[in-house]
Structure 1
Amino acid sequence: MCARYYSLLWLTTLLLWAALWWQAIPLPAWWPLILLAGWATADAGSYVFHVILDHHIGAERSAMARGFQEHHADRLKITRESLSQVLAPVMPLLLPAWLLLSAPAALGWIAPGWALYLCAVALGVGFGQVIHRWSHLPDPGPVVIALQRMGLVVSARAHDAHHRPPHGSAYAIVSGWSNPLFDAVALDRRLSAVLARLGYPRVA
């Protein structure tokens, strides 16, 4: 129930935010590129976060990490969860950040370009698991399929590489844009080495 309220509150503030932009905040000239930059940032962040959850947090310590690690064995588990269940893990973190962003932007304390960029990042973070879920559905619907074909959200084909043992590539779950670059430079192994030096060795 708490997850449902968090999700409804976030979606409500999202609609209010859209209305605010439409009525009061001027869109920057390069707003499409700003949105894409924020979306790409969220995708890159999902890669890093996914590596940490998959390999550096024990399942007994974190329900979110347990969910990601169990997902490797049961890749359709996410498709059996409700929307509120999928959104629940990130809502307690995202909702306060979203509200803290909305007020300064509405008051003009954040430049419109930066506000729009942060808005796109928040959208990618907030809907990352929903997009991840779409990539596992056999038929996510024509609109989602169109978005996948345009490369705006990660497709089943692009995400499938992550589910081939040892699950060491294609960690990004928003658009998948960062996967080729980060896989090419072995970012997962480099990040794991840094985390191990900081006292967080691989546990999975």
Structure 2
Amino acid sequence: MNYLRVLDAFSIVGYFVLSAWLALRMLGSYALDGDGLLLFYSAIGLLLAYLAADLLSGIVHFLADNFGNADTPVLGPALIHPFRDHHDDPQGITRHGFLETNGNNCLICIPVLLGIHYIYDWISPRFAFLLGAAVNGTLAFIFLTNQIHKWAHQSSPASFVSMLQRTGIILSPSHHALHHRAPHLTNYCITSGWLNPVLDRSGILRLILRISGKLPGPESLAREDGQRT
């Protein structure tokens, strides 16, 4: 096991420990000032957390695909290279073990959880519970994103995964296949894919590429538009 897998293992353990600790602190807050309305708000918060995770996955994916390179300090080998290499070998992700698939996402969740734990006792129990639910929910879906992405490339995922894909609850293979059509300028969101139509139709991502001088030529764009119609 190389040092990256060791880092992945520590990141996953650290994420689960900090997330479980936050859940326990939330139970304490609910015991002090909880009611049915608080649970209702938290349920809405979980849906918003799922949307937030999908949006964040799209933004990170877009940036990694289009900016920097494999030699970019820190982010190059850890984030940018895997995304670029994935376009050359889409099925490569299916050969990754649990540690390699999920370690990076757990690592980026840890500073957020540490920050929440640091401020948790400074705020009211009611607000602390809501904040904890929003953060823990969002990070849980971020943790699952790479696994969901991997499932979207597997030819025979588990039956419960196939059911979630067919119902559109998580990213489906057919939806994600749209991103793997050259020049790879659409469908960046890889948690549920729900926000891909919003990002794609808004034109924001293409505007960023145009301003930065990274938008592909007309022939590539015409080919992509033809594939989507």
Q: TM-score, normalised to structure 1's length?
A: 0.85
**Is 1:87 the counterpart of 2:102 in the alignment?**
yes
Alpha-carbon distance change, 176 to 96 in structure 1, aligned in 2, over 3 angstroms: same
Report the Cα offset of residue 124 of structure 1. 2.2
- Give per-residue Cα distances to partners, 1:98-145, cap 9 Å, x unaligned: 23224544x372612233122222122222212111111112212222
Q: 1:145 aligns with which of 157, 162, 165?
A: 162
Alpha-carbon distance change, 21 to 152 in structure 1, aligned in 2, over 3 angstroms: farther
Name the count of aligned residue pairs: 198
Identity %: 23
Alpha-carbon distance change, 115 to 23 in structure 1, aligned in 2, over 3 angstroms: closer
8 Å Cα contact 1:50-1:172 kept in structure 2: yes
Per the alignment, residue 98 of structure 1 pairs with: 113
Residue 10 of structure 2 aligns with an amino acid whose one-letter code is Y
**Is 1:118 the counterpart of 2:118 in the alignment?**
no
Where does structure 1 lack aligned partners over 5 or more consecutive residues? Answer: none
Report the Cα offset of residue 19 of structure 1. 4.1
8 Å Cα contact 1:56-1:203 kept in structure 2: no
Distance 2:7 2:21 in 1: 21
Where does structure 2 lack aligned partners over 5 or more consecutive residues? Answer: 1-5, 217-229
Per the alignment, residue 10 of structure 1 pairs with: 15
Q: Give the SS at the match of 2:145.
A: helix
**Is 1:129 the counterpart of 2:143 in the alignment?**
no
- Give per-residue Cα distances to partners, 1:14-50, cap 9 Å, x unaligned: 3333444445434432322210111101111111111
Moved over 3 A (4+): 15-24, 102-105, 201-204
Relative to structure 2, which stretch is displaced further, 169-178 or 124-133?
124-133
Alpha-carbon distance change, 66 to 22 in structure 1, aligned in 2, over 3 angstroms: same
8 Å Cα contact 1:46-1:173 kept in structure 2: yes
The alignment's C-alpha RMSD in Å is 2.3
Alpha-carbon distance change, 140 to 16 in structure 1, aligned in 2, over 3 angstroms: farther
Per the alignment, residue 70 of structure 1 pairs with: 85
Alpha-carbon distance change, 19 to 114 in structure 1, aligned in 2, over 3 angstroms: closer
Alpha-carbon distance change, 28 to 191 in structure 1, aligned in 2, over 3 angstroms: farther
Report the Cα offset of residue 161 of structure 1. 0.4
The structure having more radius of gyration, on CA atoms, is 2
Q: Give the SS at the match of 1:157.
A: helix
Q: TM-score, normalised to structure 2's length?
A: 0.77
Distance 1:30 1:148 in 2: 27
Relative to structure 2, which stretch is displaced further, 119-128 or 108-117?
108-117
Per the alignment, residue 179 of structure 1 pairs with: 196
The structure that is helix-richer by fraction is 2
